[in-house]
């Protein structure tokens, strides 16, 4: 495979490629790396490659003429064989197959991923154009760039370090570069997951907080059990460190056997009427409404929840909720809503709901509060919906989501809460949603497809 780096600082490229895996690959002829300098394609005595931006602004912009000339030079097709080099005609298909892929390294580009690295490794020639200063003239991108790539959401002094990252990452997939070709299959991001933990000798390591031993499973000799352990660890590590990756991960049938039951099937929703606050901040008990009962029950059924609990210390209110649910259950013409009302349960307190869930699932639930206030539940860990799914999805414990009526949950009276969901924010500053609307939005963010 061939790499050509377009850079005004070629001295940054060569030393970084002289050693390691890439250095050995170059010596073996598995890859070639060349540099070309835009200054060699200038026409003025100062060899200028930059100028001030039209419209004003800080810094300088790389000029189009030297860049277009140097990219055209770097992109010259190479003969496919010695015979072609001797003068034989080359077909259009052969020429197209050998055409280089021109990439501009820029913070404004698409984020480089392992999947894209694999695809680039299948190309015969990649031209990496390194920007400098405030960027390059947009017409260069329009005329001579096939793709724009970024290695992260930050800004470097120039594209050279980013180009080196691309070369190193892509070269690993070129046949003959790695001694063990299959090693790339187990690396982080190769299967959409981070890599599992690795251990080597010694078996036990002295540490300030006590002895650290290698997990016993890795010394068991049971290769199937080791593979399953590593897969579980990879999934768990991805959920903890990169919930965004886990949200895109699609487990295979074998993966699902390693994971706890689906999160939605062990999630309970609780509509709390006490303790909540009124508009003055006083702790109050709110009254039940018919709409809250059946609308949230229907949302709970839509997203496959295990139960919907109505929490109020007023016995007559609990009786009312049970009576409303029973009416729908006994209505032959309302069979669809009846299925939803089967999820309705009542409790005198949040603690009673927690105890009921713990008895049913064999483990205490992770209790998650919701609030429209950004300062609610101070000191409690905040989670976005994807972060909560990634965290709770790998823990076999059930999940309890609390919705507050009135002006919201009285946070100081709910010590069992260990997570709080970030408020629902729309395009406007106004976010006083009804509890039914808020509940539906929360469930869709957590479990919607």
Which pLDDT band, with edges at 50, 70 and 90, does 86 fall under?
Answer: low
Asked if pLDDT for residue 269 goes beyond 50, the answer is yes
Which pLDDT band, with edges at 50, 70 and 90, does 248 fall under?
Answer: confident
Tell me the angle at which helices 435-447 and 290-302 cross, rounded to the nearest 10 degrees: 10
Q: Provide mean pLDDT across the span 326-342.
A: 80
Q: Provide mean pLDDT across the span 128-146.
A: 96
Asked if pLDDT for residue 81 goes beyond 60, the answer is no
Strand boundaries in 204-265, DSSP class E: 204-205, 212-213
- pLDDT at residue number 336: 72
- pLDDT at residue number 431: 83
Q: Report d(CA 1, CA 190) in Å as an integer.
A: 21
- pLDDT at residue number 91: 62
- pLDDT at residue number 77: 75
The answer to whether 239 and 386 are in contact (CB under 8 A) is: no
CB atoms within 10 A of CB 210: 7
Q: Provide mean pLDDT across the span 172-194.
A: 72
Lowest mean pLDDT segment, chosen from 1-5, 184-188, 279-283: 184-188
- pLDDT at residue number 94: 61
What is the DSSP-derived secondary structure letter of residue 215?
Answer: -
Order of strands, edge to edge, in the sheet holding 2-6?
32-36, 2-6, 125-130, 101-111, 147-150
Q: Report d(CA 265, CA 256) in Å as an integer.
A: 14
SS3 161: helix
Structural domains of the chain, with CATH: 2-186 (3.40.1280.10), 221-259 (no CATH), 263-447 (3.40.1280.10)
Which pLDDT band, with edges at 50, 70 and 90, does 334 fall under?
Answer: low
Residues 381-435: pLDDT tens digits? 999 998 899 889 889 999 999 999 999 999 988 899 999 999 999 999 888 899 9
Asked if pLDDT for residue 122 goes beyond 90, the answer is yes
Q: Provide mean pLDDT across the span 194-211.
A: 94
Q: Report d(CA 74, CA 5) in Å as an integer.
A: 8
Q: Please state whether 377 falls in left (phi above 0), alpha (psi between -120 and 50) or beta.
A: left
CA distance readout (Å), 225 to 81, 216, 258, 388, 428: 50, 11, 11, 28, 52
CA atoms within 13 A on the CB side of 443: 29
Q: Provide mean pLDDT across the span 65-84.
A: 80
The average confidence (pLDDT) of the chain is 91
Q: Report d(CA 190, CA 183) in Å as an integer.
A: 10
The answer to whether 369 and 375 are in contact (CB under 8 A) is: no
């Amino acid at each position: 495979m061939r790499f050509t780096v377009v850079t005004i600082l070629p001295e940054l490229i060569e030393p970084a490629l002289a050693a390691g895996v890439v250095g050995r690959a170059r010596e073996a002829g598995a890859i070639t790396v060349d540099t070309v300098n835009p200054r060699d394609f200038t026409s003025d005595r100062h060899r200028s490659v930059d100028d001030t931006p039209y419209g004003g602004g800080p810094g300088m912009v790389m000029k189009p003429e030297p860049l277009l000339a140097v990219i055209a030079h770097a992109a010259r097709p190479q003969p496919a064989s010695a015979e072609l080099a001797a003068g034989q005609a080359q077909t259009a298909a052969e020429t197209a197959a050998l055409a280089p892929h021109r990439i501009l390294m820029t913070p404004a580009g698409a984020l480089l991923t392992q999947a894209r690295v694999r695809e680039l490794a299948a190309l015969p020639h990649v031209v990496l154009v390194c920007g400098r200063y405030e960027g390059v003239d947009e017409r260069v991108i329009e005329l001579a760039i096939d793709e724009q790539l970024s290695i992260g959401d930050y800004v470097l002094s120039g594209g050279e370090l980013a180009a080196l990252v691309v070369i190193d990452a892509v070269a690993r997939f070129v046949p003959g570069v790695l001694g063990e070709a299959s090693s790339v299959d187990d690396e982080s991001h190769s299967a959409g997951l981070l890599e599992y933990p690795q251990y080597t000798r010694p078996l036990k390591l002295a540490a300030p907080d006590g002895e650290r031993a290698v997990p016993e499973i890795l010394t068991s000799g049971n290769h199937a059990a080791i593979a399953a352990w590593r897969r579980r660890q990879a999934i768990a590590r991805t959920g903890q460190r990169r919930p965004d990756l886990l949200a895109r991960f699609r487990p295979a049938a074998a993966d699902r056997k390693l994971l706890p039951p689906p999160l939605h099937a062990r999630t309970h929703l609780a509509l709390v009427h006490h303790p909540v606050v009124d508009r003055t901040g006083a702790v109050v008990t709110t009254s039940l409404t018919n709409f809250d009962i059946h609308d949230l029950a229907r949302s709970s059924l839509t997203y496959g929840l295990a139960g919907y609990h109505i929490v109020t210390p007023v016995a007559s209110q609990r009786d009312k909720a049970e009576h409303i649910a029973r009416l729908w259950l006994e209505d032959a013409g309302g069979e669809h809503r009846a299925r939803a009302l089967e999820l309705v349960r009542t409790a005198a307190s949040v603690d009673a709901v927690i105890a009921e869930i713990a008895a049913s699932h064999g483990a205490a639930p992770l209790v998650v509060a919701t609030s429209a206030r950004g300062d609610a539940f101070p000191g409690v860990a905040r989670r976005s919906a994807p972060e909560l799914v990634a965290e709770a999805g790998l823990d076999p414990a059930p999940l309890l989501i609390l919705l507050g009526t009135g002006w919201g949950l009285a946070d100081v009276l709910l010590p069992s809460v260990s997570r709080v969901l970030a408020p629902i924010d729309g395009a406007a500053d106004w976010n006083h949603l009804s509890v039914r609307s808020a509940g539906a939005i929360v469930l869709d963010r957590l479990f919607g497809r």
